[in-house]
Amino acid sequence: MNAPARTADLVVDAYAPTAVRHRTVDVEGVRMFYREAGPADAPTVLLLHGFPSASHMFRNLIPQLAERYRVVAPDFPGFGLTQVPSGFRYTFDNLAHVVDGFTQAIGLSRYAIYVFDYGAPVGWRLAMAHPERISAIVTQNGNGYEAGLGEGPWAPIKAYWNHPDEAHRRELHALVSDEMTQWQYLDGVPDPTRVAPDGYLLDQYFLSRPGQLDIQMDLFLDYASNVALYPALHAYFRAHRPPLLAVWGRNDTIFIPPGAEAFKRDLPDAEIHFVDSGHFALETHHAEIGARMLDFLGRVVK
């Protein structure tokens, strides 16, 4: 029989550099919650979550990356455990402004970004505002081209952009329902039993809080501003040529595969890979995605 682990060994392991810390920091009155792991002096990877999730979506990826990188994953204003003062205007410009302030508050001067869903327009704004800070980009179903907008899921949202009235706003209420949140996780997944219910149940808990309906409707409306930024984003790609890895859930109907392939229009050296999953590809393929990230970042981030 193996000897039992000594208490001292257990204490050392509990405080290993790869252990995840859960912290908060104030950014202009917003109390930002974030997860952090990895050596403080290692190159940084900033993980930017999507709708309707928060940093919890990276629970399996963070330990994979933290052996080699300082990994930071914040909750955006309006999501997860971040606390926001009343009167905050929920636009993607404002989300990016707060996340930019967050990176400065915790001392990030250069970092790779991982963008997913809503994390993409936040990350794109950071990159365009501070191209010198971006060491690399990993996009996992994080869209940057109109070719990536799936026709079915986006039709009612585009209708709201064109007719921003109360009737069209009410039609989008279904997008924050229990059924729709679960659908986002399970659609396109060949074996749904591989998706732990923790993620979509936690997301729905946060979506059910007071004020959330208006927050999410405001962001649906403002998503049009992200599409309007695409030409500037593509110009940024061509001018600065950041190393980019796209790892995409092939069966995603929200951000469809042509959106991944489109990165090569402006970044011919972009690396494009698909996994047999849906929108929340990390739920089923975090090991493969993490391995591809480690290989990619190991080659391009010094």
- Provide DSSP, 91-145: -HHHHHHHHHHHHHHTT-SSEEEEE-TTHHHHHHHHHHH-GGGEEEEEESS---S
Task: Classify 22 as helix, strand or coil.
Answer: strand
Show Cβ contacts of residue 88 under 8 Å, excluding neighbours closer than 6 positions.
30, 77, 78, 94
Q: Give the torsion through C-alpha atoms of 26, 70, 19, 7, to 10 deg.
A: -120
Residue 4's pLDDT band, with cuts at 50, 70 and 90, is low
**Interior/surface letters 172-194, b for 16+ CB within 10 angstroms, e for the rest:** beebbeeebbbbbbbbbbeeeee
pLDDT of residue 302: 83
For residue 135, pLDDT beyond 80: yes
Domain ranges of the chain: 16-300
Q: What φ, ψ does residue 301 adopt, rounded to 5°?
A: -105, 120
Contact status, residue 188 vs residue 251, Cβ threshold 8 Å: yes
**Lowest-confidence range among 17-26, 31-40, 107-116, 287-296?**
17-26
Q: Residue 64: which of 293, 245, 244 has the closest Cα?
A: 293
Alpha-carbon span 34 to 21, nearest angstrom: 8
Average pLDDT for 69-83: 99
For residue 10, pLDDT beyond 80: no
Alpha-carbon span 215 to 235, nearest angstrom: 31
pLDDT of residue 224: 99
Per 3-state DSSP, the chain is made up of helix, strand and coil in percentages (nearest 5) of: 50, 15, 35
In DSSP terms, which residues pair with 14 in a beta bridge? none
For residue 141, pLDDT beyond 60: yes
Single pTM value for the model? 0.94
Does 279 qualify as catalytic in the annotation?
Answer: yes
Show Cβ contacts of residue 120 under 8 Å, excluding neighbours closer than 6 positions.
48, 50, 139, 142, 143, 144, 226
Average pLDDT for 114-127: 99
Contact status, residue 84 vs residue 74, Cβ threshold 8 Å: no
Tell me which CATH homologous superfamily contains domain 16-300: Alpha/Beta hydrolase fold, catalytic domain (3.40.50.1820)
Of 49, 56, 97, 279, the active-site residue reads: 279
Alpha-carbon span 60 to 73, nearest angstrom: 12
The token duo for 132 is 């010198």
For residue 96, pLDDT beyond 60: yes
Mean pLDDT score of the chain: 96
In percent, how much of the chain has pLDDT > 90? Answer: 94
